[in-house]
Each structure stands twice: as C-alpha cells, then as structure tokens.
Amino acid sequence: MALIVQKFGGSSVANAERVMNVANIVTDTYKKGNDVIVIVSAQGDTTDELIAKAKEINPNPSKREMDVLISSGEQVSIALLAMAIEKLGYPVVSLLGWQAGFNTNSTYGSARIKKIHTERMHNELGRKNIVIVAGFQGICKYDDITTLGRGGSDSSAVAIAAAMHADRCQIFTDVEGVYTADPRKISNAKKLDEITYDEMLELATLGAQVLNNRSVEIAKKYNVELEVLSSLTKAPGTIVKEAAKMEKMFIRGVTKDSNVARISIVGLPDVPGIAFKIFSKLAAKKINVDIILQSVGRDGTKDIAFTVSKDNAGETVALFEGTDVPKGAKLECDTDVAKISVVGAGMESHPGTAATMFEALYNEDINIQMIATSEIKISVLINKDDADKAVAAVHAAFFPEE
C-alpha cells in the first residue's frame, strides 16, 4: 500500500463528464489498496472568469477580497469531484485549503506556503477516506483566505506530497507530459521520458505551460519525484527528478514567453552607481528583472535595457517617470517582444548550442534584440510577430524531422 497524491488541472475537471473521468482515475488508484489525496484546480477558465467579474465591479479591488473571490473556483471543484466519487460508491471527503492545514504568509494573491498541518488529512486517511483538497489556497495568520498565485495548485500538490511523505506525486493535465516544444504547434515535438528539476524549472519559468515553476522549486527542495501525465489518455508521462538520463538529446526543449516587456533607458551618464540605482528601485518594488544589457551610448553615455514581465511594465515605467530618469536620458517600453529559449543540461558539454540556435534564427531573417545565457539555457529576445516562426526554426535545428 502506498500514499499517492494526484493533482488534476482545470481542463481535467472542466465539465461533468471530465469530473466523472477523474473520479474513475482516483477510485481505480484507491481500489488497488492505496491511500489517495487529490488536489484539484478550478474548472476550465473559472479563475479567469472570476477575475473578469471583479474587474466589472471594481478595477482595483483589494488583494484580500480578490483572494476570497478567486479561491471559490476550487471550492466548486472539490465538492463536485467528491460527489462524483460518492456516486461511484467510495468514501470521500473534500477539504478547503485551511481545512487541509495549509498555512501561508499573508501576501494575498501570491502567498507562500509556510507549513501544512497534516493531522486532518492523516485522520481522514485513517478513516479510509479518499481526501480531496482545494488547490491554490491557504489561510494566513490573520485567518484570512490566501491564494498562491496563478497556477498555484501544482504547488499545493507538491507541498502535500512533501509534507505527507507521499510515495508518488502525479500531476495530471491535458497533454501527455513534458514536450520538447508545445505539441499543439510543433508537430514533431517529442515527449520526454525524464527531465531534471533544474531543466524543468527553466522550462516552466521560460514559458512551457505544463508545470508551475514554484511547484518545481518545492519538488527540488524536498526531492519529490513528479510524474506529469494526461488525464485523458493512459500513456506514460514524464518523470521530473534530480538526475535524468540524457537519451540522445542534449536539448530538452524550446519555449516561447510572450509575457515580457523590454525597458530601455538610453543616454545615462557613464558613471559608477547607475545600474545600482535603477535595479535597487525595481527590487524595492519586488519587480523581477530578467535579461539585462548595458551598452555604450553616444557622447560618453551608456544605455541600459532589461526585461520585466508584461504585468510589471506599467509599474516599471511609472517608477522611472519624472525625477528618476537622470536628465537627458530617455525611457522606452516595448511590449511587442517575445523571449525564445532553449534549455538542456547537456549544452554544458556540447559546444555550438548557441551557434545552432542563432543560425536557425538568421536563416529565418529574425533579428535578435537581446541574449541571455546560463549553464543550461540560452534565451533571446525578438519581435513577438516572429515568435512562432522562431520556435519552429530553432526546434527543427535541434530536432530534425526523422
């Protein structure tokens, strides 16, 4: 007998038929003698719809009330799934985040899990119940409902698996696993059998939509092996773990992220401390900066360009408006950009990865605006209209049609 954690995303519970399908997967696992804890997201696009409803009434609602609202989607899912399991004749109980013991900090809208008090879940499993837990939510020290940030149910699942010392953590989704590129767009995208935490973290952060990046951080920290698989087919999925076999490939995937904006400050004085001034202002507002480029400008000045997520673009521009851009310097914000990345631990030992990527872009006449690298990734910033073409060309360069 094992303890198995199963997480189902919004598309896997989108309607009554899909909820019944999930109930079957869960009870099949339970029937084999396992303890089962299930984490579910809100049905389909519910969370987006709730956000739209809020904006109709108040474009600037408080984050606290936003969390009260958007956490409700998961409450619907857990009840419906529990009812489906009741219908199949199995013992089941649904729990909201706070009932399952999820304690978070009080950063409404993007709360961090601090501790999971597992007694209730242990008790329910002891009573032989299948336990269904609402993903994406917890409670803070003020006894307020918090949410974990978009896509946060993955983190809920991985955190439960860690806290409960689960034997397996399965993340069910609407694709069969982690692919070398978005399989809906790239026809010969290949499903990976295995991938390391670090590679998965890069892919998740750089735009692959299959796992939330925070959940991969938690998995790595607590060494929770993840299995990403489809709720709709029975195919084997992708295992995410510490060390993965390399197979023949040294690149694991090509991603696109359109949620980026490029901010350039042109004509800055070329003196020490300028970069510090700019980036400490961003840090104070907790705005994450990704690619940074400093270059020599005209007449002894310098230019600094960097990228932020599109959601932070407005705030970033506002931050530097008025007195904070030094005299003579000019700030520009470009949101018509996309970041294309290749990820793979194997590139450390394979020279020429960057050249292969840049050649593929050159062959398509795509201009590179910025470049950033780490040991296991290369990212370029390009015009967003070229993004899909770029992914296809780069993917084809690393994964030629067989």
Residues at the contact surface with ligand ASP, assessed by CB under 6 A: 9-10, 41-42, 47, 73, 135-136, 150-153
Helical spans, DSSP H, in 58-118? 63-70, 72-87
| The residue count for the chain | 402
Instruction: Identify what 152 binds: Mg ion, ligand ASP, none; CB under 5 to 8 Å per kind.
Output: ligand ASP
Return the bridge partners of 257, or none. 339
Least distance from ligand ASP to the Cβ atom of residue 260, Å: 19
Q: What 3-state class would DSSP assign to 148?
A: coil
Instruction: Identify what 73 binds: Mg ion, ligand ASP, none; CB under 5 to 8 Å per kind.
Output: ligand ASP
Rounded Cα distance, 49 and 46, in Å? 5
Q: What 3-state class would DSSP assign to 173?
A: strand
Please identify, using beta-carbon distances, which residue of 64 and 122 lies nearer to ligand ASP.
64
What are the residues binding Mg ion (CB under 5 A)? 10, 41, 47
Least distance from Mg ion to the Cβ atom of residue 278, Å: 35
Please identify, using beta-carbon distances, which residue of 134 and 376 lies nearer to ligand ASP.
134
Q: How far is CA 350 from CA 198, 250, 291, 376, in A?
A: 18, 8, 23, 11
Please identify, using beta-carbon distances, which residue of 73 and 344 lies nearer to ligand ASP.
73
CB 9 within 8 A of CB 153: yes
Please identify, using beta-carbon distances, which residue of 13 and 382 lies nearer to ligand ASP.
13
Query: How far separated are the first and last CA of the chain, in Å rounded?
Result: 43
Instruction: Identify what 136 binds: ligand ASP, Mg ion, none; CB under 5 to 8 Å per kind.
Output: ligand ASP
Least distance from Mg ion to the Cβ atom of residue 208, Å: 16
Please identify, using beta-carbon distances, which residue of 50 and 88 lies nearer to Mg ion.
50
Chain residue at closest Cβ approach to Mg ion: 10
Least distance from ligand ASP to the Cβ atom of residue 28, Å: 23
Least distance from ligand ASP to the Cβ atom of residue 150, Å: 4
Torsion of CA 303, 308, 312, 315, to 10 degrees: -10
Return the bridge partners of 399, or none. none
